[in-house]
Amino acid sequence: MDQPKTETILRMLVLLSGGARYTVSELAIHFSCSERTIYRDLYTMENAGFVLDRTQGHYSLNLCPEEAKKLHRLLHFSEEEAYILYRALEMVKGGTSVSEQLVRKLNALYDFRALSNLSRKPEIEIIHTLDEAIRTNKQVNLHSYRSSHSETITDRIVEPFEFLPEYSAVWCLDLFDKTCKQFKISRIEQVYVLNSNRQNQMLHRVPFTDAFRMSAFESLATVEAELSLKAANLLREEYPLAEKYLSDLDVSGTLRYLLKIPVADYHGIGRFVLGLQGEVKVVGPEEFKNFLREAQKKMGL
């Protein structure tokens, strides 16, 4: 392939990955070439492993993590660009930062052909059914939902309204208590679409989601803790949205960091703290200290 053609395909990949859709004639005008050339370039992209979405004659590029890595190698992203892209695709689950805006834009590029390339194929049918219910404004029965919070397996009658990035979970209004909750796709046995339409759209809203991917209608508390360098590094790597709540501590001779972060639930940050015994010193609040003591008792610590 000659250099000019390579540059055209690279530019086209960038254009098609931006979220907008283009017809072949629009692409031909944009790149000053024939429609036949555009068809050939689109064929080349698909042979290279990229997934193209064709909707009513309009084209866009779907990105799953593996395709994103190929695009990274092809376009030579800077380290900073690659960091944001991969964190957005693989780790970010909530928040209100620029990273969340990016992940939502990238998430809009997924469809079920792209998802079928992932390792979660048994979940595709569930995602598809939920997507249909959202688009047709239907209530659904989440059959045999396995709840870690209540430690029960029950049917949940809900109104689904929005997926989380990467389709790891779906936001629904639980009709039992009329509250918006996050339901993990992997914990749903099966989805049955009901005949009844959604009736509570005014209540559909995504609650506050903390950096540890826990959600509530509002912040439960602000946790304050001192972290070692090891704990601070793991926090940045596993929960990138928490980094902005970290600051250096002026402790002579040691590298210590202060974490002061709002949380929606103690379970998320609790798992992080309990997994780093001796690396995190909790300052407050007292309710969180009590939560940790109870959790340690259950663990036999």
Q: State yes or no: pLDDT of 270 exceeds 60.
A: yes
- Helices assigned H by DSSP within 22-136: 24-30, 35-47, 65-75, 79-90, 98-107, 112-115, 124-135
When divided into structural domains, the chain yields a total of 3
Query: What average pLDDT does the segment 204-219 reach?
Result: 81
Residue 185 · residue 131 · CB < 8 Å: no
Residue 43's CATH number: 1.10.10.10
Q: Is 77 part of any domain?
A: no
CB atoms within 10 A of CB 41: 17
Confidence of residue 121 (pLDDT cuts 50, 70, 90): low
More confident residue, 42 or 292: 292
**Which domain range does residue 194 map to?**
121-206
Cα 185 from Cα 168, distance rounded (Å): 6
Residue 188's CATH number: 2.30.30
Is the pTM higher than 0.75? no
> pLDDT exceeding 70 applies to what percent of the chain?
74
Cα 244 from Cα 233, distance rounded (Å): 13
Confidence of residue 63 (pLDDT cuts 50, 70, 90): low
Residue 264: Cβ-neighbour burial (10 angstroms; 0-12, 13-18, 19+): buried
Q: State yes or no: pLDDT of 62 exceeds 50.
A: yes
Which of the listed residues 164, 187, 206 is the one where a domain comes to its end? 206
Which of the listed residues 206, 237, 271 is the one where a domain comes to its end? 206
Same domain, 196 and 234: no
- Backbone CA torsion sign across 76, 79, 81, 85: positive
